[in-house]
Every structure is written in structure tokens, then in C-alpha cells.
């Protein structure tokens, strides 16, 4: 069965073939990682391929969450369905190649690694390839400047000019610099997903607010995270949906 039929998150997102660039903005203390883990579930079901740049969560994290959602990430990696790009491994592998600032060198190495993995995927057969970044804002934490990050992101997004390549970018926003990077992506994405904490504070029934914007259309959902998944529901319907 298509997981979108029975999965509240995937049903709410309703990813379409024309959603070439998907941007997930994580605001303040909210955690939007559940969107990426659910998207991976859908990608594996659809027989798509994915390159995941892990700047925030580890492979072990995705494996543990994936098992709860019904997929085995390690198995997918072994089968060549998913490729993980570890920024530290890429940087260490290229140390000493030139005198460039190691932080700037990191972006060069990561882009080269992404292109290599994509080209290998595309040689196999015509099928969707998703490029996933979790989480872009960590480049700012490493001391990289906004222009360098936006330039890297533009190169990354330009790859989606190929009909079979799609981009999924997650970025946390808690500072002015974070917001500048996020706004640049919000402006060009096909699907914008914002995950925020409740303005009224913590609730035992609601974990946060998810806003989904596609063009002029906007839908808002409250969500509640559980140990083995996430439930979404329209604002005001929390009791009905949680205990139905």
C-alpha cells in the first residue's frame, strides 16, 4: 500500500512530481526532522534514489527512526538506494590538496561528492534522484559566510535542471543570518514547509504547527509526535483526531 494513504504526514505533504525544490524551515525550538524521515520512507517505496548530506543528524539516528516507520536505512544503503555524504569524511579525505581555507574547501568537496553520486545514480537507469541536506544552517555554525552558503545552495539547486533530480533542503532559523539564508530558499522553492512551536507554549496534545505552502495555496496543520510516528490534524481538531 502506498504509505501516503495511511501516513498522516505524507498525506498532508502530498508531494507532487512538479515539486522540484522542497524547502523545510525549522523555526526556533521546533524539530522538523520527522518530515525528512517520512520523505525517505516515501522515496524508498517509490523506488527513487537519494543522496543525504548529514550535517545534523547521524546515520544511526535515521536508522533508528526508519525502523520505527517501517524501513531499514542501512539495508537501503547496502543496496545502493541511498548514499550518505558525511562532511567530515569528505574534508579529511581532501586535506592538503591545496592552500584553500578548510571551511571553504568543505563546500567544494561536498559539491564534488554530490555530483559524483548523482552521476552514478543517473547511469543506472532513469529514476528520480533526491538530494537531501540536513541541516543547511550548520554551515553558519562552522563560520562560513552567507554569500558562500548561498552560492553553494545555488549550485546544488542548479542540478535540478535535470528532469530526474530533486532537492530537499532543511534549515534551522534562530538568528538573522539563518533567516537570510532561509528567505533566499523560500523565494525559489516549489514547496515550502514551515515547522514552528506553538505560540502559546507547550501542550500535552500538540507538538507544533506545520505550514505547507505551494504557490498561492497554504495549508496549516497541528502535529503531535509519538514514539513511532507523527499525527497531523487541522487546528481545532486535536482532540477528535488524537483519540479517534
Q: Kindly indicate the confidence band of residue 239, based on its pLDDT and cuts at 50, 70 and 90.
A: very low
| Residue range 122-168, pLDDT digits in tens | 888 778 999 999 999 999 988 889 999 999 999 989 999 999 999 99
Q: How confident is the model at residue 198, as a pLDDT?
A: 85
Angle at 220 between CA 19 and CA 232, to 5 degrees: 90
Q: Which CATH superfamily is domain 3-242 in?
A: P-loop containing nucleotide triphosphate hydrolases (3.40.50.300)
- Residue indicated by cell numbers 543547511: 136
Q: How confident is the model at residue 201, as a pLDDT?
A: 66
127, 83 contact by CB (below 8 A): no
CA dihedral 229, 233, 132, 20 (to 10 degrees): 150
Tell which residue, 159, 89, 90, has the closest CA to residue 130. Answer: 159
22, 189 contact by CB (below 8 A): yes
pTM across the whole model: 0.90
- Higher pLDDT: 21 or 104? It is 21
Q: How confident is the model at residue 77, as a pLDDT?
A: 95
Domain limits, the chain: 3-242
Alpha-carbon distance of 21 to 130, in angstroms, equals 10
Amino acid at each position: 500500500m502506498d504509505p501516503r494513504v495511511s501516513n498522516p504526514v505524507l498525506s498532508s505533504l502530498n508531494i507532487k512530481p512538479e515539486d522540484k525544490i522542497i524547502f523545510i524551515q525549522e523555526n526556533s525550538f521546533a524539530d522538523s526532522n520527522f518530515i525528512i524521515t517520512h520523505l525517505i520512507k516515501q522515496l524508498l517505496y517509490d523506488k527513487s534514489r537519494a543522496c543525504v548530506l548529514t550535517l545534523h543528524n547521524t546515520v544511526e539516528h535515521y536508522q533508528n527512526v526508519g525502523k520505527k516507520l517501517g524501513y531499514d536505512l542501512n539495508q537501503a544503503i547496502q543496496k545502493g538506494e541511498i548514499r550518505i555524504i558525511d562532511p567530515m569524511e569528505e574534508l579529511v579525505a581532501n586535506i592538503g590538496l591545496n592552500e584553500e581555507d578548510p571551511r571553504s574547501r568543505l563546500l567544494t568537496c561536498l559539491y564534488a561528492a554530490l555530483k559524483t553520486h548523482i552521476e552514478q545514480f543517473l547511469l543506472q537507469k532513469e529514476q528520480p534522484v533526491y538530494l537531501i541536506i540536513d541541516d543547511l544552517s550548520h554551515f553558519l555554525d562552522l563560520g562560513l559566510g552567507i554569500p558562500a552558503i548561498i552560492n553553494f545552495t545555488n549550485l546544488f539547486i542548479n542540478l535540478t535542471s535535470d528532469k530526474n533530480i530533486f532537492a530537499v533542503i532543511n534549515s534551522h532559523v534562530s538568528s538573522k543570518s539563518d533567516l537570510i539564508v532561509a528567505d533566499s530558499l523560500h523565494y525559489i522553492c516549489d514547496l515550502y514547509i514551515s515547522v514552528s512551536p506553538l505560540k502559546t507554549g507547550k501542550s500535552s496534545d500538540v507538538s507544533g504547527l506545520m505550514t505547507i505552502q505551494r504557490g498561492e495555496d497554504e495549508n496549516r496543520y497541528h502535529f503531535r509526535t509519538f514514539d513511532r510516528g507523527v499525527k497531523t490534524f487541522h487546528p481545532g481538531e486535536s482532540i477528535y483526531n488524537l483519540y479517534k
